[in-house]
Structure 1
Amino acid sequence: MKTALITGASSGIGKAFAEELAQRNYNLIIVARSNSLLVELKEKLESQYAIKVKVICQDLTVSGAGEIVFNQVKQDNIFVDLLINNAGFGDYGRFTDRVLQKQLDMIQLNITALVELTYLFLTEMKSQGRGEIINVGSIAGYQPLPYLSVYAATKAFVLSFSEALWAEYKTYGIKILALCPGPTESKFPEVAEFTNFPGMEDSNKNALAKAEDVVKDALSALEKSQANVVTGGIGNQIVVNLSRFFPRELIVNGVEKQFRQNQ
């Protein structure tokens, strides 16, 4: 039986990954800061499916957290067949109006922990000649986003990093995918303090993709050995391709006007 490790598994896309993979008969290692939510998910999935779920309560914004998670996995002598680096958050507002430490924590979580976990588990996958990794980025990684400047920059890193590794390691029998969803049902707007997040309006609730659909699209793309996948429909495909047809300054100015909220 294969094992998947999922960060940010307590809610949103991470929780949807856990539920879908449990249905597919994966044992799970679920990682997040909220122990109570992880235990609740563990009990639910183990009662519904003939699988084992290991809980690791860990704040990945702490320096060296990736190695802590890796060492806990190795204590049980578990080989991780599928690593899903999903944990991440954003922060809305003009850069210098926001708390610096929150920006640094974002970089630590969205980039540093992701790189650390990828390095540690990919090294094992290479030695075994098998394994899969999904790094959760965003369509925000395709262009700068005023008022979400650090977040978009971290997701641009995830996209570039993941595609490079896809090319480096495909000859070793390892699949690596950059998952780039658009606005999706999650706690992102709440954590980012982005009250006008697309889809939050009562008149536009259908603009948010369902986390379950994002997960199914991701696993389908991984099975096909794609380097990246943009989920959420034709609108997101248009967004990620705008820079092919328009000057970058024009795009970023347009985004600034769209995202400005009493700044």
Structure 2
Amino acid sequence: MGTALITGASAGLGLEFAWQLATAKHDVVLVARDTERLERLASQLRAAAGVHAEVLTADLTDPADLERVAERLRDQTRPVGLLVNNAGLSLHQRFVGGDLDREEMALDLMVRSVMVLSHAAAQAMVERGRGAILNVASVAALFTSGTYSAHKAWVRTFTEGLAVDLRGTGVTATVLCPGLVHTEFHDRAGIDKSVLPDIAWLNPDDVVAAALADVRRGAVISTPSLRYRLASGVVRLLPRTAVRAFASYRKPVPDDAASAAGMGSLAPDADR
């Protein structure tokens, strides 16, 4: 894989990606908004793993910052062999009556930035004849939990289409579709994790290890854990009326619990 560029690298799954890739002796480019946290992480990775860790502070909802990250991916003098599009956020609101500015920010972060960075990485990687793109979606892509589900459904379908485009180029595209993962994301979003049983939760190290193994073997869809693969298979077989009924059934529940039940706000992939 060579050098890996990870968005949302300062916390959550992004942090785990950084550690696992660095300990596997891959240099890393760490992208997030919090310079202090990135610099601290970079120092730790250099000391513990002996790799080169580059800090690239950027707000991916800002077009100028996004373009700086895209330019880093296009730089053939410092090639990036793996792009991990991991940054995300929890809106923690319903669409109707919600703040439209926040909706647009989420769309820019979880859809537009994935498209722009994937385009930049794919172009550079195809020229070299090797590379991999890993886009983090969610099992929420199969549900109807507001715009978060819509964003992750786009990422899933986009990555599948990208994998088709890249066939025969030496470059692969994988979409990671985890379920609920134990990270600080939920604490930051003010979500009560006790509303779901322990069996619903995955460990971030297991999720990341499974994702990287799937990238190495060229899998297009990566769904860590047997229970979530089975659950995803069941949801795909259900009539969409049943999936929508599940979303309707949870509406009277308070926001925190409702989000947890539908997995709409429980994104395991954020640096926020």
- Normalising by structure 2, we get a TM-score of 0.87
Quickly say closer, same or farther: Cα 1:203–1:5, change in 2 above 3 A.
closer
Cα contact 1:13–1:86 (8 A) shared by 2: yes
Q: 1:189 to 1:6 in 2, by over 3 A?
A: same
Question: C-alpha distance in 1, partners of 2:35/2:251?
Answer: 34
Match of 1:254 among 246, 254, 258: 246
Whether contact under 8 Å (1:140, 1:155) holds in the other structure is yes
Distance in 2 separating the partners of 1:229 and 1:75: 28
| Aligned equivalent of 2:226 | 233
The answer (yes or no) to whether the contact 1:87–1:109 under 8 Å persists in 2 is yes
| Counterpart position of 1:223 | 216
1:91 and 1:22 mapped to 2: Cα distance? 31
SS in 1 for 2:176: strand
Shift of 1:243: 4.0
Instruction: Give distance in 1, aligned partners of 2:233 and 2:88.
Output: 24
8 Å CA contact 2:59, 2:66 repeated in 1: no
Question: Counterparts of 2:128 and 2:98 in 1: how far apart (Å)?
Answer: 44
Partner of 2:119: 119
Gapped regions of structure 2 (runs ≥ 5) = 256-272
Per-residue deviation, 1:254: 1.4
- 1:124 to 1:54, Cα distance in 2 relative to 1, 3 A: same
CA-atom RMSD, angstroms? Answer: 2.1
Note the alpha carbon deviations across 1:147-183, whole angstroms, 9 max, x for none.
xx11110000000000111111120011110000001
- Long gaps (5+) in structure 1: none
Q: Which moved more, 1:36-45 or 1:244-253?
A: 244-253
CA apart distance, 1:203: 7.6
1:100 Cα shift? 1.0
Contact 2:56 2:69 in 1 (8 A): yes
Match of residue 56 from structure 1: 56
* SS of the residue 1:135 aligns to: strand
1:133 matched to which residue of 2?
133
Q: Secondary structure at the match of 1:10?
A: coil
Please state if 1:37 is matched with 2:33: no
Residues 1:101 and 1:128: Cα distance change in structure 2 (over 3 Å): same
Q: Distance in 2 between matches of 1:7 and 1:104?
A: 19
Distance of 2:77 and 2:252 partners within structure 1: 49
Compute the displacement of 1:111 (Å).
0.5
Q: Kindly provide the amino acid, as one letter, of the partner of residue 79 in structure 1.
A: P
Q: Is the 8 A contact 1:10 1:32 kept in 2?
A: yes
Q: Which residue of structure 1 lines up, in the alignment, with residue 263 of structure 2?
A: none
Offset of 1:249 from its aligned partner?
1.4
Kindly tell me: are residues 232 and 257 of structure 1, through their superposed partners in 2, closer, same or farther at Cα, counting changes over 3 Å?
Answer: farther
For the pair 1:242 / 2:234, whether they are aligned, the reply is yes
- What is the match of residue 108 of structure 1? 108
> 1:168 corresponds to which residue?
165
Give the alignment's TM-score, normalised by structure 1: 0.90
Whole-angstrom distance in 2 between the partners of 1:262 and 1:252 = 18
1 or 2 for the larger relative contact order (CA 8 Å, sep ≥6)? 2
In structure 2, the residue matched to 1:189 is 186
Q: Is 2:2 the partner of 1:2?
A: yes
Alignment length (residue pairs): 255
Judging changes above 3 Å, is the alpha-carbon distance between structure 1 residues 128 and 74 closer, same or farther for their aligned structure 2 residues? closer
Q: Which residue of 2 aligns with 1:23?
A: 23
